[in-house]
Copies of this chain bind each other. A is one copy, B any other.
Amino acid sequence: MKSTATLKDVARQAGCGIATVSRVLNGKGPVSAASRQRVLEAAQSLGFEFNETARALQSQRTRTIGCLVPSLINPVFADAVQALQAEVLAAGYHLILMCSDYDPAQEAEIIRMLIQKNVDALALTVSDAATSAGLMALRDRPLPHCLMFNAPAQGAASYFVNNASASARVAQAFDDEGHHRTGFLALRFHRSDRSRQRFEGYKKACRTRGMAEPLLLEVDQDQPDLGKQLSQMLRQRAQLSGIYASNDYLAIALIRAARALGWKIPQDLSVIGFDGIEVGQLMVPSLATIVTDPAAMGRQAGRHLLAALENQQHLGAENSVPPIGGLGFEFRPGESLGPVRSDMRSNSRAATPLLPLHHSKTALNASQEQ
């Protein structure tokens, strides 16, 4: 395990003290040219490499950043993690990666472990930022951290997309095509504050626009019979002309289920997704969706943490990067969204007691907000 030479070994071989060796190899402090030469040769011949563990113990900095996401199976998180990793690596930091499986209990435990491991900073996506116990434990600690995907909470900065604004944009898109009776399809509704925020934002936007209250459609997280669940759900909810899915995978599964019932997309049902994953553009029909930039979230979270570490190093505990109000997003039109069928339009109006009296068509384009 420890076949590597130590400073002491190099010092012995070079015929000097370990302090000198350290100075040479770190390039700091005064050393004579002769010493430098001998040390470098000795280090070379012994194949010396620093022991980062010892360095970390001495310097109190592990050059390691903890990263917690719910899962890597959702490409949104994978993209963010990859960008984060690349960003911090450039500054010499490594990433310790953990997945919580959307479980708040594991979340807290994992954060504890990462602290114990002496990470220099943390980038997190938690189930529910407002109530996260792990995040709370972090609040009083002088440990730089920030959130990804979650809306900012508990004093932590965050790199996220404003789910309410994005959902308002979805409502507009449906409204523009005449869809007023719509549903919101969610997979892990109670384990993801993002999903809940999307629904809340969507509900509010529908209300503002005078659309019917959207129906919340929850499915279990079992993969195998997802198609069956969706088919059954669709049969029961045939009066909906549009469905907003809480992510693109769900949207794609929904489209397939609808087609399996013989429905035509978008004639019989319009679908809008969320995330903007690549395959959405490749499939037929292409998927209308909200395009976000998860890599940007990871990258910016990385920059934030590096800046905080830098400041902590040189200045006081001053935090130079201000928390921001949400990253940009874009509505990407697609073949899965079309105009409402005339018979459904009248149907829905008739069946909508919730319709407010005036249709305030405020044309707010959410993507322009930031």
Binding site for B on A (CB under 8 A): 1-3, 49-54, 56-57, 60-62, 64, 67, 71-73, 75, 78-79, 81-82, 85-86, 89, 94-99, 101, 112-113, 115-118, 141-143, 223, 249, 252-253, 255-256, 259, 278-279, 281-284
Contact = CB atoms under 8 A, between A and B. Distances in A.
A278 B249 contact: yes
5 contacts: A49-B115, A85-B97, A89-B98, A94-B117, A279-B279
A60 B116 contact: no
A107 to B, nearest CB: 13
Contacts of A113: 94
A98 B143 CA distance: 23
Contact of A252 (B1, B51, B256, B279): B279
Contacts of A2: 60
A83 to B, nearest CB: 9
Nearest to A256: B282
Contact of A118 (B51, B252, B284): B51
A60 B1 contact: yes
Given A52-B117, A72-B79, 11 more contacts: A49-B115, A54-B57, A72-B82, A73-B79, A73-B82, A75-B78, A86-B101, A94-B98, A97-B97, A249-B282, A256-B281
Contact of A99 (B86, B98, B282): B86
Nearest to A101: B86
Given A49-B115, A118-B51, A284 B284 contact: yes
A3 B99 contact: no
A95 B94 contact: no
| 9 nearest CB pairs, A to B | A72-B78, A78-B78, A72-B82, A97-B97, A283-B283, A252-B282, A256-B282, A53-B56, A52-B117
Given A78-B78, A284-B259, A52 B98 contact: no
B53 A57 contact: yes
Contacts of A141: 3
Contacts of A255: 282, 284
Contact of A96 (B82, B94, B101, B118): B94
